[in-house]
Structure 1
């Protein structure tokens, strides 16, 4: 491996990141440097290797023939280095890193974690709130709570809960709702990033989304729920998002029907991990919490 002395690791990381992401700025964000620094590192690597790896064009960089030969090996090598660091961290025990969507973390998980700590005082949790589909096999993340259909090959995957949707609104707004058809008179709060529409809930009642009134739109489901609490209209929520607001009476579900989106919550982890005991303890606790919260739903 003496040829590794020819090129600094930072330069190889820059080449790999740009090759994988296809964009200088995105690669720079991942590496925590400026796009100019990434460009300089790539040029230096090319000089040291004696060949160009990328084609320069107005929209950025793309791998040339030599780059296509090199990049798969660099990506595989960086993944192995990342895993080596993860394994070193795992060998010390300690913190369980949990990747979850920000809205799930903010509206449901963080409010219950004290009960986990009380029951498992030797396990620490680090919540990584992100919408990115993190791969536990190539990162320091131990557990992912994913919403989707799966499958995710190469990982240990178990279903936690079906995702079911239903309208929620403030008690004041609910006073005007006695049957589903009444929704047509109420402003609808929309989540601009939602993966599903109102049709799932409306169709069983013979309604279509075109029947609904326009209302405010937000890019975050938490904001949509807050708008519903504030009486700005009716919002199509789901159980982990709306549960605590419903329990506190800040919103109500004017109709009892809840319908599945076809997606579910999944507990995702590595097939083999030094933290298997911590992972299993967290999964048992999470399942118990969900069962207690949604058994009457």
Structure 2
């Protein structure tokens, strides 16, 4: 006797709305209207005879039954996505990675040629959109994420941490020298990254550099929303950015940016945040997926060792 299932479209609406706790965000993800999501879930609740959400004027929360049901529906969609990814594909296999744009352009992409050499028939897609993807339901094999604390999950593997150091153009460095020839950071226009969890306030506190009256004013300067823009502003001579190794290594090696840490007698500061590789752990995964994980972890280890030796 065939299983009697609720409408799959309504289940998809429910899974996305339950994950986001929002009809609006679910609609944006699924490219439909919030009204369509709402009506689909009402239809599902009527079919099941159970309320899945508590609806308030400015909030949406799962009921106890809804939270329990979401667990099973999410697992079901993950199984469907995993099964789909394992189907034979005559066009060749593919790997999809969700990654922040600065890390993608400055660390991942310059290394991908080596992976393509090892796996020439495997296509790689790098997605830098800011949305938080759900593995593997959204069709991704991997996500590279930042986190301060270790995540107690075998699907999370640490890639590397960041090291913070002030950087600027050679001409900007020369303009910061006082009459005695020493660098004075109080002369600098600091370039801030508004979206960064650790920025100048962290560096000043960790190095014991005086701030505020008579010291470095960490509130003033140029504010941008990405690390990439901060590096470009520093290269353009607009001020001093907080370099993040290994992301800034290429610019330091080419000479378009220079470190100020040694002359300021502060050196490198280890950030609390680190990059983590997130994937779905499965003993029956494809060989190229396992190969990509092993390759990326090895690249990260080599990168971390290179920075620690400097």
The bucket for the TM-score relative to the shorter chain is: 0.7 to 0.9
2:13 paired with 1:9: no
2:185 paired with 1:183: yes
The whole-number CA distance in structure 1 between the counterparts of 2:300 and 2:64 is 48
Shift of 1:75: 3.0
2:225 paired with 1:212: no
The whole-number CA distance in structure 2 between the counterparts of 1:29 and 1:11 is 15
The whole-number CA distance in structure 1 between the counterparts of 2:66 and 2:159 is 42
Shift of 1:280: 2.0
**Contact 1:199–1:208 at 8 Å: present in 2 too?**
no
Shift of 1:11: 0.7
2:307 paired with 1:294: yes
Q: Deviations over 1:147-195 (max 9, x none)?
A: 3345334434444333100011111110034588711111111000111
Structure 2 length as normaliser, TM-score? 0.80
Unaligned runs of 5+ in 2: none
Number of residues of Structure 1 aligned to a counterpart in Structure 2: 295
SS at match of 1:232: coil
Q: Is the helix fraction higher in 1 or 2? A: 1
SS at match of 2:259: coil
**Contact 1:104–1:241 at 8 Å: present in 2 too?**
yes
Shift of 1:100: 2.0
Q: Deviations over 1:57-86 (max 9, x none)?
A: 322543346534533333333333333334
**Contact 1:192–1:217 at 8 Å: present in 2 too?**
yes
CA RMSD of aligned residues (A): 3.2
- In structure 2, the residue matched to 1:249 is 255
Distance 1:278 1:74, change over 3 A: closer
Unaligned runs of 5+ in 1: none
Most deviating of 129-138 and 234-243: 129-138
Q: Deviations over 1:75-129 (max 9, x none)?
A: 3333333333344479997222223221101223223323432454233322122
